A and B are shown apart, each in its own frame.
Chain A
Amino acid sequence: MSHLQLEVEQAGQARAQSTPEQLRHLAFRDRAKDVLLFVFAAVVCFVLTRATIAFFHSPDRRLPYSDRFANSDNAEWTAYGGNWKVENGSMVNESNERGAKLVEGSPYWADYTFQADVALRSAGDAGLIARVSDAEQGVDAYRGIYVGLRTRDQALVIGAADHDWEEYASYPLSSSIVPNTWYHVRVRLEGCKVDAIVARENSTEVGRAAITMDSCPLRGRIGLRSYDSGGMWKHIRVTKLSASN
């Protein structure tokens, strides 16, 4: 006879010899034990579930993030329009489709610094999108913040899209935008405050802008976007916001 069978038999014998008062007491004790067990299991599983969700939804998860496009495998990026390929350590959009986007990262990233080297392939505009959600193929078919270089007015542009476009600032650059020339674009997002700096590849700063929006998307992925021009991007880097950056 196994240990379990022996315990069950002993318990059965003990109950058979009990008075009605003792039986009621035993039944109450069993129910209390069941309730305690139930509550214990529920609380443990609730806490574990919430902790797991909090981990996956953490704005710090996967940060710092960088992509140097060292190989042609870019499966983690999602394209919404455009014709994208990796070439010599940079991501290239060969299409002049308006509003072509390539998106990566965690949808829960909140306050961060996003920087990359950007080059336009022709006239138009190209840049970085941040706090991206609800992306689809379409000109402004996403929710997020865009910071880019626009040849038409030779400006650093900051705006927000929510399946429409609201331009918050266009700061004329100190020198004209030259297609196929690298510009380092750095965007710092803190709440609805957006700081952007553009420098040419020789490190000469050509533009700087800072705006505060009344309301804005507060979290989301990162992306590369071009409008008419196609573009090239390299040295993608996202870092958690800290006092130093």
Chain B
Amino acid sequence: MGIGVPSSRSLLVLFLGAISGFSAGIFPEVAPRAHPPEITFIPRTSGTSLSEGMRSGADQAAREAGFRLYWNAPTHEDDVDRQISLMSSALVSNTRGLILGPTNGAALTTMLNAFVARHIPVVIVQTDTPIPAGRYITSVTPDQEAVAKLAATRILQALGNGGGQVAILGLDRTAPETLQRSRYFLQYLSGHPEVQVVAGQRGTSLAQEAEQNAGEVLDAFPHLKALFAVSATATAGAIQAVGERGLGRAVVLVGCDDDLFSIRNVREGSLDSLVITDNERVGYLAAKALLNAIGGRDLPQPWHVEPRLLTRNDFQVHQ
């Protein structure tokens, strides 16, 4: 019998062989890969010194514990919709824990409650927790009272006995820490009648608008002696506004939170001083607390990290 039409048995064998060969060929491409467990970090925005410092610390803590850190944030600090979307994705992807820098705390309470309801631990950074701290939610933030005290002390020192007019820049309801800093600053200065706080200007997440806001205050109060900018954006805007008006020597500018170029601004003298927190430490502590909670331990009570004042004199120390 020569080569004729293959039998149905032969066709079946050929088919099974083909399937096996195809499966063996495709398997390396489609085989599920093992991923380490994941925690999520969503700051207000990314690509700033403040957020990147926190990321670095959190990443280190995650790696030490064998976890992967998922990191993403809105491209604009005020993009609350994007932050809700990222939180929602984290919830769907079964993240083991969340570190959040709330863009607008009041708008995020529903999402935060959803995490807490699922017993997924949450650590809030950058500002106080928008919902009460408890078993599944806490915060690691700068000590805002100490931030304000450092700034006030510096301004008093710079103004000397003569005192003068001072303005506060960057008050933003969606960033409650700016209001806290302002409140403590006013409390501290209330014992110094020679210093008059003449303005409390609104804040924004946009640098150009912050510059405009600072400019309005500088133009409205020509005898202003000092500015206290309570956020990184307000600080950046004030530096621009003061520089454009050539008031660098006339107005003492004290800022808060380091931005990409603010430390350089201190070194160069366009910013008198900057109240900063060790952001890497904040990120590390937040992730460590989260990972402990994932491991079954209780989250700690809200935690305040001490800030420090960076001036041109101690720039070398900071370096």
Which A residues are within 8 Å of any B CB, using their own CB?
Answer: 3-4, 7, 10-11, 33-34, 37-50, 53, 81, 97-100, 136-141, 152, 163-165, 227
Bound state CA distance, A42 and B5, in angstroms?
21
Bound state CA distance, A39 and B1, in angstroms?
23
| A98 contacts across to B, CB distance below 8 A | 45, 47, 75-76
| A136 contacts across to B, CB distance below 8 A | 72
Bound state CA distance, A29 and B208, in angstroms?
85
Q: Which of A37, A137, A140, A141 contacts B14 (CB 8 A)?
A: A37
B25 in contact with A97 (CB, 8 Å): no
B21 in contact with A163 (CB, 8 Å): no
Closest to B264 in A: A153
A3, chain B: closest CB distance, angstroms = 7
A46 in contact with B46 (CB, 8 Å): no
| B47 contacts across to A, CB distance below 8 A | 98-99, 139-140, 165, 227
Given contacts A46-B21, A48-B21, 17 further A-B pairs with CB under 8 A are A3-B5, A4-B4, A11-B1, A38-B14, A40-B14, A41-B13, A45-B20, A46-B24, A49-B25, A98-B47, A98-B75, A99-B47, A138-B46, A138-B75, A140-B47, A164-B56, A227-B47
The B interface, classified by DSSP as helix, strand, loop or mixed, is: helix
Tell me which of A10, A38, A40, A47 has the highest count of chain B C-beta atoms within 10 A of its own C-beta.
A38
Which B residues are within 8 Å of any A CB, using their own CB?
Answer: 1, 4-5, 9-10, 13-22, 24-26, 29, 45-47, 52, 55-56, 59, 70-76, 82, 261
User: When A and B form their complex, what is the total count of cross-chain residue pairs whose Cβ atoms lie within 8 Å?
Assistant: 104
What are 5 contact pairs spanning A and B, CB under 8 A? Answer: A7-B5, A40-B14, A41-B17, A45-B17, A45-B20
Contact (A50, B73) CB under 8 Å given A37-B10, A38-B16: no
Contact (A4, B9) CB under 8 Å given A46-B22, A164-B55: no
| B75 contacts across to A, CB distance below 8 A | 81, 97-100, 137-139
Bound state CA distance, A99 and B72, in angstroms?
12
A139 in contact with B14 (CB, 8 Å): no
Bound state CA distance, A164 and B49, in angstroms?
11
A42 in contact with B24 (CB, 8 Å): yes
| B26 contacts across to A, CB distance below 8 A | 49, 53
Bound state CA distance, A26 and B159, in angstroms?
108
Bound state CA distance, A149 and B71, in angstroms?
25
Contact (A139, B21) CB under 8 Å given A7-B4, A37-B14: no
| A152 contacts across to B, CB distance below 8 A | 261
Closest to B85 in A: A137
A22, chain B: closest CB distance, angstroms = 15
B24 in contact with A139 (CB, 8 Å): no
Bound state CA distance, A152 and B260, in angstroms?
11
| B13 contacts across to A, CB distance below 8 A | 34, 37-38, 41
Contact (A42, B52) CB under 8 Å given A97-B75, A139-B75: no
Q: Which of A10, A34, A99 contacts B9 (CB 8 A)?
A: A34
Closest to A4 in B: B5
B25 in contact with A46 (CB, 8 Å): yes
Q: Which of B18, B19, B52, B76 contacts A97 (CB 8 A)?
A: B76
| A138 contacts across to B, CB distance below 8 A | 46, 72-75
Contact (A42, B55) CB under 8 Å given A49-B26, A139-B45: no
A45 in contact with B72 (CB, 8 Å): no
Contact (A45, B21) CB under 8 Å given A38-B16, A98-B47, A99-B47: yes
| A3 contacts across to B, CB distance below 8 A | 4-5
Tell me which of A40, A45, A53, A152 has the highest count of chain B C-beta atoms within 10 A of its own C-beta.
A45
Bound state CA distance, A53 and B261, in angstroms?
47
A126, chain B: closest CB distance, angstroms = 14
| A99 contacts across to B, CB distance below 8 A | 47, 75
Closest to A163 in B: B71
B175, chain A: closest CB distance, angstroms = 18
A140 in contact with B21 (CB, 8 Å): no
Tell me which of B20, B25, B55 has the highest count of chain A C-beta atoms within 10 A of its own C-beta.
B25
A49 in contact with B52 (CB, 8 Å): no
Q: Which of A42, A47, A163 contacts B17 (CB 8 A)?
A: A42
B72 in contact with A42 (CB, 8 Å): no
Contact (A140, B46) CB under 8 Å given A98-B75, A164-B52: yes
